[in-house]
């Protein structure tokens, strides 16, 4: 299995590996079949950017680093429910969200790494909620690396899940303040989680929003969420491959984000996820098959010979580009 941009889909060589859902979270296209051109057009109209496919070159690649699709969809639904309640001026179910936070903390704790499913693999209506789930997963992966304890991880998860809740209170503008004001009134939610919403658009150098606080004045959880949020937007909305998104984050070290946190993030989230087609420094094409220990040095399999090697053991062999555009 591998993840492709929708423009790369080729119905002669690829089958859908994960279902595509409509905006009501119903299965629109089931896994295991090819996509009829008519449906492909429909997916384009829905602005779906990514598909999971099975094909010859991705044979044997399992992508078990992904959260399973039903759990991810369920998580998205819980966040959606909370946002809709807030929009309707109803109190949202904090318990449900806390249960989800526990589940996500558990998910991240027992996995070595996390690869997110881009929220743009879903219908536009569901994306803001899948975005929140992804930001929570990425934040927790960083929190794990920082050895946060269980309670800290829980507060971080709640903050990340609700970081954009202000958008449900009053739309995009001022959503950080609105979210903070909304969350801090709720006694069941930690003030630290509320601060994640408040400060997730602040910048390390003090040029962010809404209060232009800087450096240590920005709570660590909010800095973590800020990095995860930027990364998720680059991957999903902008359709940028992970290694380029990493470079974009590094370029913002000590400008938007604390350098040590960016470094930690880069070292804990794979730049070349399994299924990525790559060009190697020896000129040959390969596919990433798995990541065992080193996030930047995965296993690859040459397309021409099927020979699989670990880049961790070949320090001189480099990935020079990601060749994501399949020519039909």
- Rounded (10°) angle between helices 69-87 and 127-145: 110
**Of 209 and 250, which has the nearer Cβ to Fe ion?**
209
CB of 170 to Fe ion, least distance (A): 13
CB of 230 to Fe ion, least distance (A): 9
CB of 231 to Fe ion, least distance (A): 11
Nearest alpha carbon to residue 123 among 22, 239, 252: 22
**Of 92 and 272, which has the nearer Cβ to Fe ion?**
92
Q: Is 256 in the site for Fe ion (CB under 5 A)?
A: no
**Of 248 and 322, which has the nearer Cβ to Fe ion?**
248
**Of 193 and 229, which has the nearer Cβ to Fe ion?**
229
The piece of 29-37, 164-172, 191-199, 300-308 that touches Fe ion (CB under 5 A) is 164-172
CA distance 209 to 302: 47
Give me the phi and psi of 203, to 5 degrees please.
Answer: -115, 150
Question: In Å, how far are 152, 202, 224 from 191, measured between CA atoms?
Answer: 12, 17, 16
Q: Which tokens sit at 325?
A: 């555009």
3-state SS class at 323? coil
CB of 257 to Fe ion, least distance (A): 15
CA distance 138 to 129: 14
CA distance 242 to 245: 5
Strand 308-310 vs strand 15-16: parallel, antiparallel, or unpaired?
A: unpaired
**Of 220 and 229, which has the nearer Cβ to Fe ion?**
229
Q: Is 271 in the site for Fe ion (CB under 5 A)?
A: no
Q: Is 164 in the site for Fe ion (CB under 5 A)?
A: yes
Angle at 165 between CA 162 and CA 170, to 5 degrees: 170
**Of 227 and 300, which has the nearer Cβ to Fe ion?**
227
**Of 127 and 144, which has the nearer Cβ to Fe ion?**
127
Contact characters 275-304, Fe ion, x per CB under 5 A: ------------------------------
Total number of residues shown for the chain: 328
CB of 64 to Fe ion, least distance (A): 27
Max CA pair span of the chain? 61
The piece of 18-26, 157-165, 298-306, 316-324 that touches Fe ion (CB under 5 A) is 157-165
CB of 246 to Fe ion, least distance (A): 18
CB of 133 to Fe ion, least distance (A): 11
Count other C-beta atoms under 10 Å from residue 60's C-beta.
Answer: 11
The count of residues interacting with Fe ion (CB under 5 A) is: 2
Residues 223 to 242: which contact Fe ion by CB under 5 A?
229
* Sign of the dihedral defined by the CA atoms of residues 150, 100, 266, 179, in that order: negative
Binding footprint of Fe ion on the chain (CB under 5 A)? 164, 229
């Amino acid at each position: 299995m591998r993840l492709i941009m929708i423009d790369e889909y080729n119905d002669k060589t690829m089958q859908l590996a994960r279902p595509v859902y409509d905006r009501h979270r119903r299965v629109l296209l089931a896994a295991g079949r090819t996509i009829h051109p008519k449906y492909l057009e429909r997916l384009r109209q829905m602005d779906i950017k990514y598909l999971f496919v099975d094909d010859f070159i991705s044979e044997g690649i399992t992508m078990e680093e992904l959260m399973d699709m039903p759990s991810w969809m369920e998580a998205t639904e819980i966040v959606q429910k909370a946002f809709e309640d807030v929009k309707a001026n109803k109190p949202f179910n904090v318990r449900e969200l806390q249960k989800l936070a526990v589940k996500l903390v558990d998910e991240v704790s027992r996995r070595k790494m996390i690869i997110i499913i881009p929220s743009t693999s879903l219908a536009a209506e569901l994306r803001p909620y899948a975005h929140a789930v992804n930001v929570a997963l990425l934040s927790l992966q960083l929190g794990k690396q920082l050895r946060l304890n269980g309670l800290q991880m829980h507060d971080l998860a709640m903050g990340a899940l609700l970081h954009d809740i202000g958008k449900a209170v009053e739309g995009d503008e001022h959503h950080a303040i609105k979210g903070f004001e909304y969350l801090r009134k709720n006694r069941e939610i930690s003030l630290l989680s509320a601060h994640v919403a408040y400060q997730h658009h602040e910048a390390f150098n003090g040029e962010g929003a809404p209060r232009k606080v800087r450096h240590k004045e920005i709570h660590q959880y909010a800095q973590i969420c800020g990095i995860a949020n930027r990364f998720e937007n680059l991957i999903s909305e902008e359709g940028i491959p992970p290694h380029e998104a990493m470079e974009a984050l590094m370029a913002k070290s000590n400008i938007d984000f604390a350098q040590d946190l960016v470094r930690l993030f880069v070292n804990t989230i794979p730049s070349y996820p399994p299924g990525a087609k790559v060009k190697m420094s020896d000129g040959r094409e390969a596919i990433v098959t798995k990541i065992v220990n080193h996030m930047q040095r995965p296993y690859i399999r040459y397309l021409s010979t099927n020979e699989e090697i670990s880049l961790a053991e070949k320090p001189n062999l480099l990935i020079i580009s990601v060749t994501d555009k399949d020519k039909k």
